[in-house]
Amino acid sequence: MPLDHRLTPEHEELRRTVEAFAHDVVAPKIGDLYERHEFPYEIVREMGRMGLFGLPFPEEYGGMGGDYLALGIALEELARVDSSVAITLEAGVSLGAMPLYLFGTEEQKREWLPKLCAGEVLGAFGLTEPGAGSDAGGTRTTAVRDGDEWVINGSKCFITNSGTDITGLVTVTAVTGRKADGRPEISSIIVPSGTPGFTVAAPYSKVGWNSSDTRELSFDEVRVPVANLVGQEGRGYAQFLRILDEGRIAIAALATGLAQGCVDESVKYAKERQAFGKAIGDNQAIQFKLADMETRAHMARLGWRDAASRLVAGEPFKKEAAIAKLYSSTVAVDNARDATQIHGGYGFMNEYPVARMWRDSKILEIGEGTSEVQRMLIARELGFAG
């Protein structure tokens, strides 16, 4: 089926709205917040009022009644200016709210989704551990049923949106039993913030995404109701694989935005920067570098929109999502490197957005499935055993 990459009038209106917000609201503030490693609460509140956290959810749960393409459009436009803000939205929707929407009970949806869609509360998903991420068999966190409660013990690492002042819950994967062959049965369980025994560590000191909240979590005899189980017992990891498939489209859109932002900043700089009596953009070497950067961003955009269109249409999209994530994350790193080179010494100064983009780009080849994992998934879809 050929892809019509053109946006509908509604999607184009959304794109323009978020573009203006990113340039008028995010851009003037985020540099100082980033250098101080501060979470952008005011920006997040405004995003909530705009309905961005509710984009792909039905109106009956407080959402905007949009789709995953709409979410990707918003993420791309935000990431053209800043990735910390974009990943806060991506994680809040794809990891915080989407598991409840896809697998939660009606009671869980009614309790949590309106607040999550409004941006009043952020949700997080606790999957990764020091010895377990893609390797589900390495999960050490346990949840043992005691009457009408789960008792959770263990730890998680690299969890986004898990320790802000407005974080309301973390959905945690934990071993709740063993299969006949000895492999762990993993379930997903909601742990509200502030639950006794649930400890959130100080924020990590990171290379990039410095205005995004990322923390280590620990669970010491944490008790929550049995009703906090999300979906089927023992199906937690399988459910999260579905979440990751969709999330890769969102990360691809974010990566595309960063790649395009590098083009935006570099074109502007190349027209303004004078060397040897002329703008550096008059040099063919710079023009060719910019042409390559624009080509990469354009192709990455087609990739994530194709995957999103397949998801929205109810068609298989696993391979296309992996391709989009693999390619766009590579493109983001390549464009950030070239943008820094075009800016020269100024590209190494944090006052310039490309320095922030360079610091933010590398994690895109790691988070929500490394580039190696994407290649593995693509090869499997081609018929090769893992």
Instruction: State the catalytic residue, choosing from 13, 368, 372, 381.
Output: 368
The CA distance from 369 to 356, in Å, is: 22
Give the β-pairing of 149-160 and 214-225. antiparallel
Containing H/E element for 133? none
The CA distance from 158 to 129, in Å, is: 8
The CA distance from 280 to 32, in Å, is: 29
Active site residue 368: yes
**SS3 label, residue 181:** coil
The CA distance from 382 to 319, in Å, is: 9
Max CA distance (Å), the chain: 79
Question: What b/e readout covers 182-192, taking b as 16+ CB neighbours within 10 angstroms?
Answer: eebebbbbbbe
List, in sequence order, the alpha helices (H) in the chain.
Answer: 9-21, 27-35, 41-50, 68-79, 83-90, 98-103, 106-117, 236-272, 284-312, 318-343, 353-361, 371-381
Residues assigned a catalytic role: 368
